[in-house]
Structure formats: structure tokens, C-alpha cells
Amino acid sequence: MTSPSKTLRAVTLVLRILLGAVFVYAAWTKLRMPWELFAMEVDSYQVLPLKVVELVAHSLPWFELVVGLLLIAGFWLRSAAAAITLLLAVFVALMVRAYAKGMEINCGCFGPGDIISWKTLLRDGSMLAAGLALTVLSFLRRRQATAR
Amino acid sequence: MNMRLGAVALLWLWPAMAAVNDIDPNKTAGNPSAPVTIQVFSDFECPACKALHERTLPLLQRDFVSTGKVFLVYREFPLPQHAHSREAASYATAAARLSLYQPVADALFRDQVAWSTNGKVWDTVAGVLTPSQQTRVKAAAGSASVLGEILRDVNLGHAVPVTSTPMLLVSRGDKRYPVSGTLSYEILKSLIDDLSK
């Protein structure tokens, strides 16, 4: 095994464990509370009709949990990494929109009390960058494996 | 550091304090032994608080407070960036001593745009009081007791922590959930229904 591929593997491992843990934690903060609290946070972005808000509030935490566990376990890595990156891109876009409009709302990322600010944007933006890197790395690794 | 220690202490003591010691009975609605208690942390100068007061709270009163399912507690949380909200909170809290919190709060929210622009908070308050009530409210508004009550509400809010206004602290027994944002009544109703079971 060459040194660059070792590095690639190590970076991939760190990123997937970190992002996986963050997503499992995010899911846990939502699932331990009544679903209505997360629904209100989703609703406060004022982009979805009520029925869709309820659907998102019921399903998103479970999706975060499953995708987070897949990342930690390393199963379906490319799909899980791509899904998390897409999800983070949507979250960041919605947060930027809310921040730009001056909406003083909770981001809904890790339970209550997490009001949108430049800090939350920086945090989620960093996670998006990590997700993008992980997605690229997981596809690169796949390409290397098939080339051998 | 002292503030942090104070906040930790308040958080530790919260359930007992919130249950008995620190509630002004004149700033409540409903049955104190109702299964669910909702503490409303609000700022008279905040537009979202006006919306909550005028649209959501009447529905809450109708569906849950008057039916004995919810005990409502009003808390002052004047934000530092609002020039007149502390003055408004003082008048409302002073009016509560005469059991006139509700009419004064209604008037303050109704005329929010006017007094927050021209600073004439007292004109709005005086409009719903008789001359003798005006004298008593004005005198009480500057008292240490009223100012202390507002400070206590603010400190309790910091301990929750209240990150934006309005915030509702919905609680049943040891469980307590801070709720903020646009507060869709349908979702809030579902939460209270679930907690009431």
C-alpha cells in the first residue's frame, strides 16, 4: 500500500467517524424530546406547509440516525456520505436564508437553544465542507479499488 | 463567574422555585394544579411576542386554560436592545398588583408600534386605567418590589435559557421543554395534548 492511499484511508476514517457521530448526536437530541419541539423549529423557517413540517419532524431524526450509523460502520459509504452532504447543503442554505432575513430562530440542529448566528453558520458550513471532502474521498477510494 | 454560578444554582433549584416561590398570582391564568404549566417569557416591544399574545394565547386560553389543562404564568423578559420594554414591563407588573395585568398587557401589545416609536409608554397604560389606578400604578412601577420581580423573571429566563422571545417553557412534573420560534398553534396544541395524557 502506498503512503498517499494510507493517508486517504486515514482521512476518510476520521471524517466518517466524526460526521457519523455528529449525526447520531443530532438525531438523539431530537428523538429524546417530543416530536413537536423539532416540528416547531422546522416550522420557524417558514418554508414548508404544516403537513410537510410534521412529516419532516417525524422522519428526519430517524434518517439522521441511520445515515450517521452507516457512516460510523462504513457501510454504503458513498451513498451515506452523499446523503449527508446533500442534507447539510440544504440545512446550510436554509440557515443562510434565515440569517440573511434577520430571523431570530433556533437552527434545530442539536435541540433547543441553538439560535442561528455566524457561529452556527460556521459550524454547519465546516460540516458541509467535511461532508463534501468525505464524498469525494469515498468515490476516489472506490475508483482506486476498481483500477487495481 | 458569579453570574455563571448564579445561573447554575437557579437551574439546580428551578423545579422547586418555579413551582412555588416565584410566581406572581396576579400574572397567571387558570388552575395552578393543572397538569401542564406554561411559562411565557415575553418582551412587550418584540413583534413576535405581540403575535403570540394576540393570536396564540387566546386560543390557548380557550382550549386549555379555561378547561383546566394548562396553568399559564406570564414572565417578563425585556431585551436590552429594546429601549422601552423594561418600562412597559414595570407598568404591567405594577398593574398586576391591582389585578390589572391583562388589560394593561393587552393595551401595550395593541399599541406596540406607537409607543415603541414615540416612547410614550405611559400614555398607552393610562388609557386603560382610572385616575386612581394610574396614581397607584405609576407609584408602584418604580418600586424596588416591582423592579425586583422583573429582575427575578429575567434571571429565571437566563437560567432556562431564553435565547429569543417569545419563549414558552412547557412543563409537566420534572419534564420541561422550552419552545420558541413562530409557534404554530396546531403543533403547540399537539404537544400539550400529548403532555396532558
What Cα–Cα distance (Å) separates residue B196 from each residue in A54, A58, B32, B36, B56?
A: 20, 20, 14, 7, 19
Contact A36 B188 (CB under 8 A): yes
Q: Please name the residues between 33 and 52 in chain A that touch chain B, using a CB distance below 8 Å.
A: 33-34, 36-37, 39-41, 43-44, 46, 50
Whole-number pLDDT of residue B16:
38
- Among B159, B194, B183, B171, residue whose Cα is nearest residue B60: B183
> DSSP letter at A115?
B
Q: Are A108 and A43 in contact (CB under 8 A)?
A: no
Residue type, B67: T
pLDDT in tens, B59-71: 999 999 999 999 9
Percent of chain A with pLDDT over 70: 97
What is chain B's alpha carbon radius of gyration, rounded to the nearest angstrom? 16
Q: Please name the residues between 106 and 125 in chain A that touch chain B, using a CB distance below 8 Å.
A: 106, 112-115
The yes-or-no verdict on residue B19 having pLDDT over 50 is no
- Residue B163 has its nearest CB partner, among A40, A53, A115, at A115
CA distance B46 to B113: 10
Whole-number pLDDT of residue A2:
57
Could you tell me the residue ranges of all domains in chain B? Answer: 24-196
Percent of chain A with pLDDT over 90: 74
Residue B37 pLDDT class (50, 70, 90 cuts): very high
CATH fold for the domain made of B24-196: Glutaredoxin (3.40.30)
| Chain A CB contacts of B179 below 8 Å | 37, 40, 112
Task: Work out the angle between the directed axes of helices B85-96 and B144-159 (0-180°, nearest 10).
Answer: 110
Q: What is the mean pLDDT of residues A40-56?
A: 93
Other C-beta atoms within 10 Å of A76: how many?
A: 14
Assess B193–A contact: CB distance below 8 Å, yes or no.
no
Residue A115 pLDDT class (50, 70, 90 cuts): confident
pLDDT in tens, B73-102: 999 999 999 999 999 999 999 999 999 999
Whole-number pLDDT of residue B110:
97
H helices of chain A, in order, are: 3-31, 35-43, 50-73, 77-100, 118-147
| Chain B CB contacts of A115 below 8 Å | 163-164
Task: State pTM to two decimals.
Answer: 0.79
The dihedral sign for the CA sequence B170, B102, B23, B162: positive
